[in-house]
Amino acid sequence: MAKTRIVQSWFAGMAGAAVAIVVWQLLAPFVARITLNPRYQAPDFLAVLSQMVARPPDKAHLVRFALFWVVLLGGIHGMVFSRLRPSLPGAATARKGLSFGILLWIFSYLFFEFLHPWGQFHEPALLVLLELLMWLVVALAEGMTLAALSPHG
């Protein structure tokens, strides 16, 4: 029984990560139109991007990265959610999913945005807030997927 629960949790995490990638891919182009606009973006941030050596996109690398994200990190998120589920607030699946999504956002995206774009490259605060809003939607989608697909009890 325990092995079945582990496998279910792992696959729920993989589904959650896949949903997160899809939501991110849908939102990112709209957010990038604002955050990469020189009228709004910090010169330091744009300088870092302009100094990067452009290479043709390696689709195989992107697929490997997405698979790594879905299989490994998604599975880990599924296991963590399964472990934390009883202690997350509320009895409803949706509330537990939203709670876990907020935890993912705080411990992953919030940390990253303030460390790199804002802290190192001086990205304007409003642009960081816009990106954080996008990442909140991504994290909530992952949390809701995990809550819906993870084993209960």
- Residue 52: how many other CB atoms lie within 10 Å: 7
The Cα–Cα gap between 45 and 17 comes to 28
Sequence spans of domains, the chain:
2-52+61-149
d(CA 13, CA 150): 8
pLDDT digits (tens), the chain, 153 positions: 488 999 999 999 999 999 999 999 999 999 999 988 999 988 888 888 777 766 667 778 878 888 888 889 999 999 999 999 999 998 899 999 999 999 999 999 988 888 877 777 788 889 999 999 999 999 999 999 999 999 886
d(CA 54, CA 105): 30
pTM (predicted TM-score): 0.88
* 89's tokens: 């607030």
Give yes or no for a contact between 114 and 120, defined as CB atoms under 8 angstroms apart. no
